[in-house]
């Protein structure tokens, strides 16, 4: 695979430093002209389960300034294992370690002894991509030509870090002497030049690094350039990887209470067909409809057992099938399942390329993860049922929900007024204030509306032509009281689990219409292109600061805490979004 652009496959972020400090290192690489970096985690000894989350924590937040661009700057995760014996090599890189190794995009090994170096060159390890040789000190082993030939024959890449070449004079002499020998024997084949930078000042621009390698190591300009570009390929970066990494997923084998039947489990690697795309998930929300599916009360349910929960989310392209056009999707692109598909609560997903929609990567991931269900529902209900004109009014209950918050903001953008109804609860005044900051005209609790002449509360606003109901019961009846003659109420949820009750007089004397909206049915009606256009529009609004709503990102490792919050066990909580 020939990858365009320049790569620095070893940048060493400092876990003890602030995100801002680490971001500056990666931003420096971007400014200098690199198109991708690998964030390297050095590790000595065997990996344990406690090390698995390190891979995801190495990735800098997608909201960091370097992401504010249409084309994503690629960040890969890497682990470099320091190994001091043949036995250590065999254990650390054994098939039994694959589950943990595959949580990283690149696996490198650094031999510390002659036995370790020889074993890495001779043995076959399915998950080893790079042999990294530390030239900052005198090598504790000899570089042997027969061993290097074996390594090259097996497709391993050999790495030289240039930071020792620009260190103090003693380190420079030692590094140059031994690195030159590696260059002479390999003739630049499968050679990778990386910075191994701990600070932004240690990174050199691609052409500076090329000149440095040519002058100090004797590499031709062409070979030095290849060492920072086309040679920077590893099995995890391949666009034709045949299998995905093993995934961690939230499963259920039977319907029932979500906190009783959901479990976290490991899934084996999945085959990536020639027209498939493997996506590493970044974030996915816990929606009420997700919980309804688990409970078995939703019309569309996945087959059991071992059903993976979740319906929407955002991920990053990890690998492409051989027949996927890289002009349409490329590793590092942000994508969402479109239309939404079951099974987003897992770390890796393999689906046909046509099932993924590329989206902008310069907005926080929690917004991209949640854009399909709630904001799109709000937009469609404003457009599909009543021909509203600027100055018209609509009324809704459940106004603090994400759909409710989106309705307020989208209505304001279109010159519409909103009457909003919320539950009576502690902190209701704070909730009112937040909704008014979003653009709500009036916000009432249900108890405030327990009066005979409810329309006296409208003031100068016209009677609502459209009502939106996601609660049912008394809250739905209040919406109906507000509606004008010939008005329409659209029901899209039933959070109270109480029926919608309508008086006979409402039908006879007010000629009201009752409709329903189910996004999944709407999207199944050949609306793929239309929905993708609207999703892009909504994300543009997010980017412009015109659409926002409350959410809480919770690490996937704390899934059960996020689930309890979504179930209301911790009182009223923002929308829970899992961060992978």
**CA 166 remoteness from chain centre:** 37
How many whole angstroms separate alpha carbon 38 and alpha carbon 75? 6
How many whole angstroms separate alpha carbon 209 and alpha carbon 575? 47
* Lateral strand order in the sheet of 263-267: 263-267, 247-252, 307-308
How many whole angstroms separate alpha carbon 73 and alpha carbon 51? 25
Q: Beta 276-285 vs 348-352: how paired, if at all? A: antiparallel
Structural domains present in the chain: 6-237 (3.20.20.140), 247-366 (3.90.180.10), 374-521 (3.40.50.720)
Cis peptide before 366 (omega within 30 of 0): no
Cis peptide before 147 (omega within 30 of 0): no
Backbone φ and ψ for 146, nearest 5 degrees, come out as -60, -40
Residue 65 DSSP label: G
**Which residue in 146, 225, 132 sits closest to 179, CA to CA?**
132
Mean pLDDT of 344-353: 95
Q: What is the pLDDT of residues 96-120, one digit of tens each?
A: 787 778 778 788 999 999 999 999 9
What SS3 state is found at 411? helix
The DSSP-derived string for 517-565 is: --HHHHHTTT-HHHHHHHHHHHHHHHHTTS----EEEEEGGGHHHHHHH
What SS3 state is found at 269? coil
Query: What is the pLDDT confidence band of residue 290, given thresholds at 50, 70 and 90?
Result: very high
Record the tokens describing residue 520, joined without a space. 């999944």
pTM of the model: 0.67
Residue 569 DSSP label: B
How many whole angstroms separate alpha carbon 409 and alpha carbon 390? 14
Contact 344, 330 (CB under 8 A): no
Asked if residue 226 has pLDDT above 70, the reply is: yes
How many whole angstroms separate alpha carbon 178 and alpha carbon 287? 58
Q: What is the pLDDT of residues 486-500, one digit of tens each?
A: 999 999 998 888 989
Q: What Rg do the C-alpha atoms of the chain give, in angstroms?
A: 28
What SS3 state is found at 171? helix
Burial 491-519 (b: 16+ CB within 10 A, else e): bbbbbbeeebeeeeebeeebebebbebeb
**CA 371 remoteness from chain centre:** 13
Average pLDDT, the chain: 86
Cα pseudo-dihedral 481, 486, 489, 490, rounded to 10:
180
Between 159 and 66, the more confident residue is 159
Length in residues, the chain: 580
Spell out the residues 6+ positions from residue 263 whose beta carbon is closer than 8 angstroms to its own: 250, 251, 252
Tokens 């060492």: give the residue. Answer: 227
Mean pLDDT of 196-216: 88
How many whole angstroms separate alpha carbon 433 and alpha carbon 397? 16
pLDDT, residue 461, reads 93
What SS3 state is found at 20? helix
Asked if residue 175 has pLDDT above 70, the reply is: no
What are the catalytic residues? 298
Query: What is the pLDDT confidence band of residue 239, given thresholds at 50, 70 and 90?
Result: very low
Contact 14, 200 (CB under 8 A): no
Q: What is the pLDDT of residues 312-345, one digit of tens each?
A: 999 999 888 878 887 788 888 899 998 888 899 9
User: Which residues, in sequence order, are bridge partners of residue 356?
Assistant: 337
Spell out the residues 6+ positions from residue 454 whose beta carbon is closer than 8 angstroms to its own: 478, 481, 482
DSSP H or E stretch at residue 267:
strand 263-267
């Amino acid at each position: 695979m020939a990858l365009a652009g320049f790569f620095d496959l070893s940048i060493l972020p400092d876990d003890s430093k602030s995100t801002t400090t680490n971001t500056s290192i990666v931003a420096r690489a971007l400014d200098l002209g690199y198109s991708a970096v690998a964030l390297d985690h050095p590790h000595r000894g065997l990996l344990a389960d406690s090390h698995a989350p390190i891979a995801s924590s190495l990735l800098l937040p997608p909201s960091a300034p370097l992401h504010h661009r249409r084309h994503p700057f690629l960040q890969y995760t890497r682990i470099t294992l320091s190994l001091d014996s043949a036995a250590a090599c065999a254990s650390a890189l054994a098939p039994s370690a694959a589950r943990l190794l595959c949580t990283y995009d690149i696996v490198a090994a650094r031999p510390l002894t002659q036995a370790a170096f020889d074993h890495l060159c001779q043995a076959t390890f399915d998950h080893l991509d790079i042999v990294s040789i530390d030239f900052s000190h005198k090598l504790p082993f000899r570089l042997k030509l027969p061993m290097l030939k074996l390594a090259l024959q097996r497709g391993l890449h050999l790495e030289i870090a240039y930071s020792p070449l620009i260190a103090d004079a003693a380190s420079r002499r030692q590094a140059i002497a031994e690195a030159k020998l590696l260059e002479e024997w390999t003739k630049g084949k499968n050679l990778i030049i990386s910075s191994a930078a701990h600070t932004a000042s240690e990174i050199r621009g691609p052409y500076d690094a090329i000149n440095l390698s040519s002058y100090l190591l004797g590499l031709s300009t062409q070979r030095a350039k290849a060492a920072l570009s086309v040679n920077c390929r590893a099995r995890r970066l391949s666009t034709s990887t045949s299998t995905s990494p093993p995934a961690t997923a939230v499963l259920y084998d039977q319907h029932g209470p979500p906190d009783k039947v959901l479990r976290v489990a490991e899934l084996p690697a999945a085959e990536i067909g020639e027209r498939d795309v493997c996506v590493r998930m970044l974030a996915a929300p816990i929606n009420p409809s997700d919980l309804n599916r688990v409970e078995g009360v939703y019309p569309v349910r996945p087959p059991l057992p071992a059903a993976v929960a979740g319906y929407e989310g955002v991920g990053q392209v990890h690998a492409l099938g051989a027949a996927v056009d890289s002009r349409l999707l490329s590793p590092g692109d942000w994508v969402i399942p479109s239309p939404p598909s079951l099974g987003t609560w897992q770390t890796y997903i393999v689906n046909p390329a046509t099932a993924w929609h590329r989206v902008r990567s310069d907005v926080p991931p929690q917004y991209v993860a949640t854009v399909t269900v709630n904001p799109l529902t709000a937009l469609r209900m404003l457009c599909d049922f009543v021909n509203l004109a600027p100055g018209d009014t609509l009324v809704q209950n459940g106004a603090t929900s994400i759909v409710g918050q989106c309705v307020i903001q989208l209505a304001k953008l279109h010159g519409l007024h909103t009457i909003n109804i919320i539950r009576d609860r502690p902190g209701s005044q704070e909730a009112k204030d937040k909704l008014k900051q979003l653009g709500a005209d009036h916000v009432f609790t249900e108890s405030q509306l327990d009066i005979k002449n409810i329309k006296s509360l409208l003031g100068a606003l016209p009677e609502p032509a459209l009502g939106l109901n996601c609660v049912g019961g008394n809250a739905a009846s209040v919406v109906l009281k507000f509606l004008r003659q010939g008005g329409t109420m659209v029901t899209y949820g039933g959070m109270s689990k109480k029926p919608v009750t309508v008086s006979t007089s409402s039908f006879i004397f007010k000629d009201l219409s009752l409709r329903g909206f189910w996004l999944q049915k709407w999207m199944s009606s050949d609306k793929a292109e239309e929905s993708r256009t609207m999703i892009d529009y909504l994300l543009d609004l997010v980017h412009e600061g015109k659409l926002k709503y409350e959410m809480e990102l919770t690490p996937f490792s704390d899934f059960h805490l996020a689930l309890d919050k979504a179930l209301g066990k911790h009182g009223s909580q923002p929308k829970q979004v899992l961060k992978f």
